[in-house]
């Protein structure tokens, strides 16, 4: 199963996992009809907007009963029903797609090792990252390459999920990919293989400054790897946290990582149809080093929760461009037969009360160029480190004078 599907199915998602199995009380209905009705009930009971975006949800309860004769029909009409909400995040996943999603959470996938996202400007599929030591990296695919064709199928106009269907295949099989790079089309023949996803990359970029890139929140190992990264960089005096092109993932990872960086404060407030809950730090902050967070227009969902929490609590300087603007939370509901449905169950507010949906988070310092974003972060941290060193020296001298 392909890494495209696993990573990019989570574009702009914050996810809560919940299992919902078919109740035995519906055994008298056909499997296909019950499948449709279970989805209808889950949306009726859990969708965050009690007005269903102006849709008369009741009308869909039995609207397609006569047309549903098979599971293929059930999928088709369930998709018709869900599309009426005009909510791209409330959607049905077939068993293959849900399997991909589960594998992504487990951090082990079969694919070529790239991140893709759909451009807001023209709908094209753009590579935002190639994983190190992956088949794509070794073949020469690069960030900002635009997908033109996948195994001789035109990729123009496809969404990430449709592209994943074409890219998916068994380990050891070959994939033909054509990309556009600076007005030139380039062809690649790449072999799929199993890849272990490491969502965190950590390194020193100077003696005093550490760099942590967090590429996704979907991996179940994200928080653990982030903690290990902080330990690895404990000898540094400032941290650059790179959330650029991070499409989000598990809400729990955002909470855990925020608690590692925030000594106190509100992380996020979620508002469902029936409840309003504020999540606070755990009180287990691991570092007080100054932090700069890098963001861009593809930093979404859990990335925005973390960036918003650090910004609103004055814990970090946010540098880059305005983020994606996805302020909704989805719940994964498992269905019979291995399928699942994502349902938007709440919206969220940053600690300052900001609803960032379709708006995004505005950086403290707007910098368009990626290289300049990194340079700005380094400059700011150098100044902060020098300021701290000066103050610590002054305090030490004062203490000596008092003695």
Pick the closest to residue 226 from 199, 251, 252, 262 (CA basis): 199
Query: What does 98-113 look like in DSSP terms, one character per residue?
Result: HHHHHHHHTTEEEE--
Neighbours of 230 (CB within 10 A): 20
Hunting for tokens 């992504």 — which residue is that? 104
Angle, CA of 245, 249 and 252, to the nearest 5°: 130
Pick the closest to residue 223 from 268, 258, 196 (CA basis): 258
Rounded distance between C-alpha atoms, residue 305 and residue 342, angstroms: 19
Residues annotated catalytic, as ranges: 301, 312, 326
Length of the chain: 403
Pick the closest to residue 130 from 146, 121, 118, 143 (CA basis): 143
Pick the closest to residue 241 from 297, 205, 291 (CA basis): 291
User: In whole angstroms, how large is the CA radius of gyration of the chain?
Assistant: 23
Task: Report CA dihedral (136, 142, 143, 145) to the nearest 10 degrees.
Answer: -100
For 52: left if phi > 0, alpha if psi spans -120 to 50, otherwise beta; the answer is left
Rounded distance between C-alpha atoms, residue 377 and residue 384, angstroms: 11
Residue pair 167/153 in contact (Cβ under 8 Å)? The answer is no
Q: Which two tokens stand for residue 145?
A: 């390459």
């Amino acid at each position: 199963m392909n890494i495209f599907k696993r990573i990019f199915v989570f574009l702009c998602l914050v996810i809560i996992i919940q299992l919902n199995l078919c109740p035995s009380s519906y055994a008298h209905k056909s499997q296909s009809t019950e499948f449709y009705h279970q989805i209808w009930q889950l949306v009726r009971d859990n969708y965050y907007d009690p007005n269903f975006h102006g849709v008369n949800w009741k009308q869909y309860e039995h609207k397609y009963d006569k047309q549903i004769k098979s599971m293929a029909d059930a999928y088709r009409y369930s998709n018709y029903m869900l599309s009426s909400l005009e909510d791209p995040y409330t959607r049905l996943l077939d068993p293959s797609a849900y399997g991909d999603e589960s594998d992504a959470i487990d951090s082990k996938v079969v694919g070529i090792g790239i991140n893709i996202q759909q451009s807001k400007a023209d709908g094209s599929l753009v590579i935002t990252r190639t994983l190190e030591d992956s088949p794509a990296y070794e073949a020469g695919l690069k960030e900002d390459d635009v997908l033109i064709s996948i195994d001789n199928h035109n990729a123009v106009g496809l969404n990430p999920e449709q592209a994943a269907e074409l890219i998916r295949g068994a380990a050891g099989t070959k994939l033909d990919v054509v990309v556009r790079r600076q007005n030139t089309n380039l062809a690649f023949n790449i072999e799929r293989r199993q890849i272990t996803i490491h969502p965190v990359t950590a390194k020193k970029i100077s003696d005093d400054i550490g760099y942590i890139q967090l590429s996704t929140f979907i991996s179940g190992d994200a928080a653990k790897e982030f903690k290990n990264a902080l330990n690895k960089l404990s000898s540094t005096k400032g941290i650059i946290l790179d959330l650029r092109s991070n499409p989000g993932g598990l809400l729990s990872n955002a909470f855990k990582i925020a608690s590692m960086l925030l000594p106190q404060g509100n992380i996020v407030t979620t508002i469902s149809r029936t409840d309003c809950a504020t999540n606070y730090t755990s009180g287990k902050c691991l570092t007080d080093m100054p932090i700069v967070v890098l963001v861009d227009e593809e930093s979404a969902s859990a990335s925005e929760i973390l960036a918003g929490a650090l910004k609103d609590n004055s814990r970090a300087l946010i540098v880059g461009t305005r983020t994606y603007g996805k302020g909704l939370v989805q719940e994964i509901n498992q269905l019979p037969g291995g399928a699942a449905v994502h349902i938007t169950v709440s919206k969220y507010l940053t600690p300052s009360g900001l609803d960032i949906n379709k708006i995004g988070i505005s950086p403290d310092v707007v910098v368009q160029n990626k290289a300049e974003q990194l340079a700005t972060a380094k400059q700011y941290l150098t100044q902060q480190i020098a300021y701290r060193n000066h103050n610590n020296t002054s305090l030490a001298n004062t203490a000596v004078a008092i003695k």
